[in-house]
Structure 1
Amino acid sequence: MEADGIVESPPSTTRHHFTHYFMGEIKPLKEWIKDKNIVLKFINACFRGIGQPVFLNNPISGLLVLAALFVQNPWQAINALLGLISAQLMSMVLCQDRGGVENGGFAFQGLLIGSVVTAVSAEEDWYGWLSFPVICLGAGSVFVSSALNNLFGRVSLPAFNMSFNLVTFLFVTATTHTNDFFPQKPVAATIPWIGNDIDWAEIFKGLPRGIGQCYGCDDVVSGCLVAAAMAICSPIILWHAIWGSFIGIMVGISLACPLDLLYNGVMGYNSVLTACSIGGVFMLISLRVHLLAIVSAVIAAVTSLALFQFLGVLGLPMLAFPFCAIAALFLLVTTEADYFVKIPLDQVTWPEDHWKRYHRMNITVQNSNELV
């Protein structure tokens, strides 16, 4: 195939069909659903929103993540869906940014709220009253998201999942473990560091658990399903997620953190989110950017442990505050040589697509210069 004077070998039909109809944003589906009824658009947006916490704007990935939530805990999955639906409906009622609504960019905050609020609740499963704050908090997160998007947008930064963090933290802080209606599990490490008595099988399981903890899941199968969702949408995101979880574990071991933080993946998920966001989602992937993502994951892990120790005294969870802080900090890094190419927020899709569009643009510029 010849394009702009550059001869390229044609991709195989099988590979082309897979990348076109399964990977990334699945653009054919986005085009097909434009003129369909609101019910189909709503379902599509919800499934895209399920994958958005780990930067997957892909309904197939969303389906796998939903399966991961049900494997973890059906009650947790149902509340996650309630939070997702309430946030999606509120974003439509408030006429938020059309692209964000269609891609589940507001709904995923409600999903995380429903999942994590259920995970930290001290009540037994199927405590129906818990669904009421989940629905209200999910809807309320849209107001916070809209405000934060405007605020962070002034400095060309994404708001990440800060809305979920703020809303969930306020609810957990307001109720605590002594509340009569919505008590929370006290946050405290239970397994101290005991020299060489490390269960390396549990450490190995902590790798997928670190990925699953992005949704509040500590089940190994759930973590593997989330990883599979990443693999379908973007192998680059999966690659950095694995690195992030591994780095979280290694930093935890080097700092002699409580063993349960290593075993259940708590030390990994902030590093996973940070590495993925820097390593291709909001920056153009390159060797330098990959190394920057690794460094950011290390700092996110150290920050996670520090914040866990600080908030643990108060019995409060650290949530994803370390990810938001460190990722934002590293996205502000600049060099005179343009080693780190930042993706404009209105052009963020998925890492492989960023790479293709960047090189097509370079080819076009080079050809224009040759003509001059």
Structure 2
Amino acid sequence: MTAIMDNSNQPSREEAPARSFVLRAVGLFSGDMRLCGQWVKRQAVVIQLLEWIFRGVAQVMFVNNPLSGLLIMAGLFLQNPWWALNGLLGTLVSTVSAIILGQNREAISAGLYGYNGTLVGILMAVFSAKGNWYWWLLLPNVFMSMLCPVLHSALSSVASKWDLPVFTLPFNILVCLHVAATGTNHPYFPEVDSQPNNYLHPPNDSIESLKISQLLLSVPVGVSQVYGCDSPWKGGLILLALLLSSPTICFHAMLGSAAGMLSGLALAAPHRDIYSGLWGYNSALSCIAIGGVFYVLTWQTHLLALICALFCAYMTSAISKLMSVFALPACTWPFCLSTLIFLLISSEIPAICGLPLSVVSYPEENRRYHRQLEALEKAQHSQQSGGQEEAPLKEN
């Protein structure tokens, strides 16, 4: 019997190193790729800058992973090379400007000074009425991207008093500033015409005319609209990039986009807006932020993330109508405002635990940090209680 038991245990011992090797290999490319970042620090400046750019592209979705950024940018090149070129230029200029201004090097290497430049570059190309390959557009793109770290630093000095992130506020301010300054009749940089949204339910839209297949596709399309795209394939590639870094972020991106889509139906939004993902991208970002990035993920914060996504969708409807009166895009104003409101919540429930900005990472790492912190507090509490019990014995 002993020989039989030894033989049965032998394959499991041989498989254990293989499993550990696979887990280590997956760990090299998942999460924040910390080992890659440490290796890049020893390389040439050009390689470091390239990694910072791809991390900045991914940081739009709260992901600090250069491989995820590379996948996202590859999908954007497949969607529209001109938009991708402007996005890369915006990320590069914004990152270099942050270096010149002497911003925190760790934040720069994590891509936190690049993602607003990514959105500025892409959305300026999207809103331009001149179409693709209008090379003069690179001039305002470079100028606005240079201002991204300026606004980021200025807003951070104010938001840091409440330990809050600035999110995409620099992008919102700069794009709206450019659109308002140029308008639709500008001879060099005209913008697409944004008509006021005075209707709720077009006559041709009804429950019977809904297309279930397009409703389902609107979930990945809503994720792709974060980068100004309306392609389900681009959305699927973004979700794959998110899954590579954090399954939790990937799940909450889909959950938030689905919540935005359902809210659009409840508010009788035009079907074409729902199908094109315009109701999903703000809610997706809000759901990710609350669902494990800035809060430790528990079932309470998961529910809070869903409520925030629904609230963000309602705010999307209100802000879109308000901004369209001034012929301005809504951008990600709804996401910024709704998420900041939910981050300012004060709660006595231990499960709703906010994280300091200095330790914020991807959700799985945040949970590990929180568990280690709880274990340390319990150990310190047990040591203090043990010392209090020994004191009377020594006196006796």
TM over 0.5: yes
1:252 correspondence with 2:264:
yes
Residue 194 of structure 1 aligns to which amino acid in structure 2? D
1:292 pairs, out of 287, 293, 304, with 304
Q: Within 5 Å, give how 1:1-372 maps onto structure 2.
A: 12-14=19-21, 16-188=23-195, 192=202, 194-195=205-206, 196-371=208-383, 372=386
How many angstroms does 1:19 deviate by?
4.4
Residue 310 of structure 2 aligns to which amino acid in structure 1? V
| Bigger mean CA offset, 191-200 vs 125-134 | 191-200
Q: Deviations over 1:183-236 (max 9, x none)?
A: 111234699361121222222221111001111111111111111110001110
How many angstroms does 1:368 deviate by?
4.1
Secondary structure (helix, strand or coil) at the match of 2:41 reads helix
- Length, aligned pairs only: 364
| Bigger mean CA offset, 280-289 vs 331-340 | 331-340
Residue 323 of structure 1 aligns to which amino acid in structure 2? F
Secondary structure (helix, strand or coil) at the match of 2:60 reads helix
Tell me the distance in 1 between the aligned counterparts of 2:278 and 2:215. Answer: 12
Tell me the distance in 2 between the aligned counterparts of 1:361 and 1:11. Answer: 32
How many angstroms does 1:357 deviate by?
1.5
Q: Deviations over 1:239-279 (max 9, x none)?
A: 11001000000000011011121011010000000000000
CA contact (8 A) 1:288 1:339 kept: yes
For residues 271 and 14 of structure 1, do their structure 2 counterparts lie closer, same or farther at Cα, with a shift above 3 Å needed? farther
Tell me the distance in 2 between the aligned counterparts of 1:14 and 1:208. Answer: 33
Tell me the distance in 1 between the aligned counterparts of 2:250 and 2:343. Answer: 20
Residue 166 of structure 1 aligns to which amino acid in structure 2? I
Secondary structure (helix, strand or coil) at the match of 1:104 reads coil
Q: State the partner residue of 1:6.
A: none
User: TM-score with structure 1 length normalisation?
Assistant: 0.94
CA contact (8 A) 1:110 1:141 kept: yes
CA contact (8 A) 1:82 1:114 kept: yes
Secondary structure (helix, strand or coil) at the match of 1:35 reads coil
Q: Deviations over 1:267-302 (max 9, x none)?
A: 000000000000011110000000000000000000
Tell me the distance in 1 between the aligned counterparts of 2:171 and 2:97. Answer: 15
Tell me the distance in 1 between the aligned counterparts of 2:25 and 2:356. Answer: 27
Structure 2 unaligned runs (5+)?
Answer: 1-15, 387-396
User: TM-score with structure 2 length normalisation?
Assistant: 0.88
How many angstroms does 1:12 deviate by?
3.9
How many angstroms does 1:18 deviate by?
4.1
Tell me the distance in 2 between the aligned counterparts of 1:208 and 1:340. Answer: 29
Secondary structure (helix, strand or coil) at the match of 1:116 reads helix
The higher-RCO structure (CA 8 Å, 6+ apart) is: 1
Structure 1 unaligned runs (5+)?
Answer: 1-8
| Bigger mean CA offset, 310-319 vs 125-134 | 310-319
Residue 269 of structure 1 aligns to which amino acid in structure 2? Y
Residue 360 of structure 1 aligns to which amino acid in structure 2? Q
How many angstroms does 1:124 deviate by?
2.0
Tell me the distance in 1 between the aligned counterparts of 2:324 and 2:382. Answer: 62
| Bigger mean CA offset, 235-244 vs 174-183 | 174-183
Tell me the distance in 1 between the aligned counterparts of 2:344 and 2:22. Answer: 36
Of all paired residues, the percent bearing the same amino acid is 32
How many angstroms does 1:313 deviate by?
2.8
| Bigger mean CA offset, 16-25 vs 312-321 | 16-25
| Bigger mean CA offset, 17-26 vs 186-195 | 186-195
How many angstroms does 1:14 deviate by?
4.6
CA contact (8 A) 1:20 1:27 kept: no
Residue 325 of structure 1 aligns to which amino acid in structure 2? L
Q: Deviations over 1:141-169 (max 9, x none)?
A: 11111101111111110000110110111
Tell me the distance in 2 between the aligned counterparts of 1:11 and 1:258. Answer: 53
CA contact (8 A) 1:213 1:266 kept: yes
| Bigger mean CA offset, 247-256 vs 25-34 | 25-34
Tell me the distance in 2 between the aligned counterparts of 1:344 and 1:259. Answer: 40
